[in-house]
Every structure is written in structure tokens, then in C-alpha cells.
Amino acid sequence: LFPRRIHAVTQEGFVIKVLTFVLAHNISLLTQKMAG
């Protein structure tokens, strides 16, 4: 159970990182469209 918990936590952190990256990318695209 312990290794599985660690894997779940790291996987959750990875998902959060990906979501944050996608959000930042979309925000930068939106600002470029508004500025352009």
C-alpha cells in the first residue's frame, strides 16, 4: 500500500503540473490575441 500511495501522490503532482502548464499556455495565448 505504501509504494502505491507514494505513486499516487507523485502522479497527482504531475497532473497538477500539467494542468498549470496548460493554463499558463492558454493565458499567454489569450494575452497575445488581445494584444495583437
pLDDT of res. 25: 95
Q: Extract the C-alpha cell encoding 36.
A: 495583437
* Backbone conformation region of residue 10, classed left if phi is above 0, alpha if psi is from -120 to 50, else beta: alpha
pLDDT of res. 11: 85
**Residues 1-36 pLDDT 10s:** 666 776 767 888 899 999 999 999 999 999 999 998
pTM exceeds 0.75, yes or no: no
Write out the DSSP string of 1-36.
Answer: -HHHHHHHHHHHHHHHHHHHHHHHHHHHHHHHHHH-
User: Which residue ranges make up each domain of the chain?
Assistant: 7-35
pLDDT of res. 24: 96
pLDDT of res. 2: 65
